[in-house]
Amino acid sequence: MRLLGIHHIALNVHHLDRAEHFYTDVLGFKVSQRFSKGLRHLMLDAGNSKIALFEVPDLEIQSHIEELSEIGYMHFAFKIEKKMFQLAVKKLRDNNVDIGEGPVQRGEGESVYFQDLDFNHLEIHYDGE
pLDDT tens column, 73-113: 678 899 999 999 999 999 999 999 999 988 999 889 999 99
For the chain, how are helix, strand and coil distributed in percent, rounded to 5?
A: 25, 35, 40
Which residue ranges form the domains of the chain, and what is each CATH number?
Answer: 1-59 (3.10.180.10), 74-129 (3.10.180.10)
Closest C-alpha to 117, from 51, 29, 19: 19
- Mean per-residue pLDDT, 45-50: 93
Sign of CA dihedral 66, 60, 117, 36: positive
Residues linked to residue 30 through DSSP beta bridges, in sequence order: 45
Sign of CA dihedral 106, 89, 21, 44: negative
C-alpha separations of 68 from 19, 50, 119 in Å: 20, 22, 11
Model pTM score: 0.84
pLDDT of residue 70: 65
Within 10 A of 59 (CB to CB), how many other CB atoms are there?
A: 13
